[in-house]
Amino acid sequence: MSISIEFDRDRARRFVEALNGGTAIQPPQGGWSESDLLGLAGACFCLATAQGPPGLDENDDDEETWTRFFDEMHAAVEWCADRTLDVVAGEYDAQFEPRHTAVLSIEEDSLNIHPESGFKDPPRE
């Protein structure tokens, strides 16, 4: 399988400016396309990762630390996307309170979810 990507520099700039400025992001004329949604997701991911790994000096270029950071950020985005699918499918409330918190880590290529609050049952990984 492959996914077609249509990146638009100006759209990315508008998304980042809106997210940084706290302004509404209006749907494109004709509705949201897959490319629009991927572009928005990319802008959100860019801003979420912009500060880098916690506690890492901005001049530190430790490749292993950065790789783990991006792997964990991707897993965190996937967790949020999966929980959003649970909301849409009507399955969220059986598993979680309206808000939940957890710490996510990847250790030895294994995803670990450490619940902090709002979990009704052990987490699905």
Taking only the tens place, the pLDDT of each residue in 101-125 is 999 999 888 999 999 999 997 655 5
pTM, two decimal places: 0.85
Residue after which a domain boundary falls, among 9, 28, 50: 50
Residues 123, 67, single domain; the answer is yes
Residues 66, 105, single domain; the answer is yes
Residues 34, 67, single domain; the answer is no
User: Which residues span the domain enclosing 105?
Assistant: 58-125
Residues 41, 15, single domain; the answer is yes
What own/partner pairs with CB < 8 Å and gap ≥ 24 does 101-110 have? 104/72, 104/75, 104/76, 104/79, 105/72, 106/68, 106/71, 106/72, 106/75
Taking only the tens place, the pLDDT of each residue in 85-97 is 999 999 999 999 9
Residues 3, 22, single domain; the answer is yes
